[in-house]
């Protein structure tokens, strides 16, 4: 019955909209709202929606009448027009996040108090991210064109009214009590920024997804309390420090949060890592997406950043034992084929496997605890693969850096000759 009521109401609204000038142009996009309303009715109570289905229907109904002008960005304010200045602004950049944005905002708005401002910046999505976010008690901004996560975060920071900013990715879900913990962490006056961690129960159930998310959780959990990089998926920063540092670099489309962290630390800002400030990652990884992301959007850009004068951190997956583990993985690849011709070589390979396991024994114990022997064994192989393509990325990054340097020198020489 509820679904029939929603469909009928949507039909009437759509007919009214089509009768308006330009109605045919926007009718198709607006019809996506009913899809979200029906999904809401079927959502599990475990996802803790903070609004009833009828509240969501009312907000979605109102959102159909939002005019979408294309100048700079469009802002829709579904929050209370209170004169109270918020103490914390949560900023959610979103690009084609229709599959996850509802879960993200369910958890975020459920924990938000009266002095919390929530801003969602839609980076010109081509799906119904905007329509879904419009159903929530948030301030919604839509960029006129795709500018990237850095620009989306900066736009949110520009509009924020609170002195503390909490950046949350659209594909994560705050753990229960995470917002209160974030507030508490920022009460320390000696800390300018705080980053959190993924939890140990990722939503995606594939082997690659569980390995990737659990490995990220492991390295953040074992880290020391002070970080040298920022993390945009779950990170807080004082607004004045972000402004003073120049914000996120909008020319970067990867590791922009890492680069921001380097600049903050260079300015004397202390970044704390709170392992208990956790979010659940909703991303589904495949082996291909894992390798492409790690190589082209993380390892190579990070190598170039390092060669540009930024020191590599000695923490997380850059710690000394991880550098040794990478060399052990390379030695295993080189030594294994030798066993075909020299039987005695298997002892050396077995010793390398033992060392590789021992270095990350706590990680493999975590994988075993969360997914049994299958996940632990596959996790061991995936971790060695990670080391191998990381070494390849290091070599590729160095080659790219020197190729660029050579090209710049040639261009300078040519300009000098024809000057």
Instruction: Write down all domains in the chain, each with its CATH number in brackets.
Output: 66-284 (3.90.550.10), 318-417 (no CATH)
CB–CB of 355/329 below 8 Å?
A: no
Q: What is the pLDDT of residues 44-74, one digit of tens each?
A: 333 334 445 555 555 455 444 444 443 355 6
Residue that has been written with the tokens 């396991």 in this structure: 357
- Both tokens assigned to 249: 């670099």
Percent pLDDT > 90 in the chain is 65
Name the pTM for this structure: 0.79
Which position has the token pair 């002008």? 69
Which residues sit opposite 194 in a β-bridge? 236, 272
Q: Is the pLDDT of residue 21 over 50?
A: no
Structure confidence by residue, pLDDT tens digits, 327-365: 999 999 999 988 888 877 889 999 999 999 999 999 999
Q: Which is it for strands 271-281 and 226-227: parallel, antiparallel or unpaired?
A: antiparallel
d(CA 169, CA 256): 13
Residue 226 vs residues 179, 186, 285: alpha-carbon distances, Å: 20, 14, 29
Q: What is the mean pLDDT of the chain?
A: 84
- Residue with structure tokens 């990220």? 216
Give the tens place of pLDDT for each residue, 217-266: 999 988 878 888 999 999 999 999 999 999 999 999 899 999 999 999 99
Q: Is the pLDDT of residue 40 over 60?
A: no
Cα Rg for the chain, rounded, in angstroms? Answer: 24
Contact status, residue 261 vs residue 229, Cβ threshold 8 Å: yes
Q: Is the pLDDT of residue 75 over 90?
A: no
Long-range Cβ contact pairs of 320-328 (< 8 A, separation 24 or more): 321/359, 322/359, 324/359, 325/356, 325/359, 325/360, 325/383, 325/387, 326/387, 326/390, 326/391, 328/352, 328/355, 328/356, 328/359, 328/387
Whether 79 has a pLDDT exceeding 50, the answer reads: yes
Q: Are 395 and 303 in contact (CB under 8 A)?
A: no
DSSP reduced 3-state for 194: strand
Euclidean distance between CA atoms 397 and 4, whole angstroms? 57
User: According to the model, what pLDDT value does residue 71 have?
Assistant: 36
- Higher pLDDT among residues 407 and 269, named by residue: 269
């Amino acid at each position: 019955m509820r679904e029939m009521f929603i469909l009928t109401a949507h039909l009437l609204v759509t007919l009214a909209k089509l009768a308006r000038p330009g109605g045919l142009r926007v009718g198709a996009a607006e019809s996506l709202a009913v899809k979200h309303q029906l999904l809401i009715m079927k959502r599990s109570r475990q996802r803790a929606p903070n609004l009833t289905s009828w509240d969501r229907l009312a907000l979605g109904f109102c959102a159909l009448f939002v005019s979408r002008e294309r100048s700079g960005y469009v802002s829709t304010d579904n929050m209370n027009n209170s004169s109270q200045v918020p103490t914390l602004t949560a900023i959610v950049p979103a690009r084609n996040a229709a599959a996850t944005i509802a879960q993200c905002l369910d958890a975020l708005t459920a924990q938000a108090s009266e002095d919390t401002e929530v801003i969602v910046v839609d980076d010109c999505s081509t799906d119904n991210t905007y329509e879904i976010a419009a159903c929530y008690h948030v301030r919604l901004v839509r960029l006129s064109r795709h500018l990237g996560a850095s620009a989306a975060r900066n736009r949110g920071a520009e509009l924020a009214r609170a002195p503390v900013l909490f950046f949350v990715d659209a594909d994560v879900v705050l753990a229960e009590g995470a917002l209160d913990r974030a507030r508490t962490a920022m009460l320390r006056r000696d800390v300018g920024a705080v980053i959190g961690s993924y939890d140990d129960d990722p939503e995606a159930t594939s082997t690659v997804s569980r390995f990737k998310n659990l490995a990220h959780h492991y390295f953040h959990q074992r880290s020391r309390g002070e970080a040298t990089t920022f993390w945009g998926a779950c990170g807080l920063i004082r607004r004045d420090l972000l402004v003073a540092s120049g914000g996120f670099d909008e020319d970067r489309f990867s590791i922009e949060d890492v680069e921001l962290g380097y600049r903050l630390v260079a300015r004397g800002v202390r970044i704390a890592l709170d392992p208990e400030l956790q979010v659940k990652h909703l991303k589904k990884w495949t082996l291909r997406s894992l390798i492409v992301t790690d190589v082209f959007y993380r390892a190579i850009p990070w190598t170039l950043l390092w060669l540009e004068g930024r020191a590599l951190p000695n923490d997380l997956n850059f710690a000394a034992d991880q550098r040794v583990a990478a060399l052990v993985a390379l030695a295993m690849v080189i030594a294994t084929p030798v066993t075909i011709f020299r039987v005695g070589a298997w002892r050396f390979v077995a010793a390398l496997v033992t060392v590789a396991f021992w270095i990350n024994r706590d990680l493999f114990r975590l994988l075993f605890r969360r997914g049994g022997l299958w996940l632990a064994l596959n996790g061991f192989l995936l971790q060695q693969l990670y080391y191998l393509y990381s070494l390849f990325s290091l070599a590729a990054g160095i080659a790219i850096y020197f190729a660029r340097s050579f090209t710049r020198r040639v261009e300078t020489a040519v300009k000098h000759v024809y000057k």
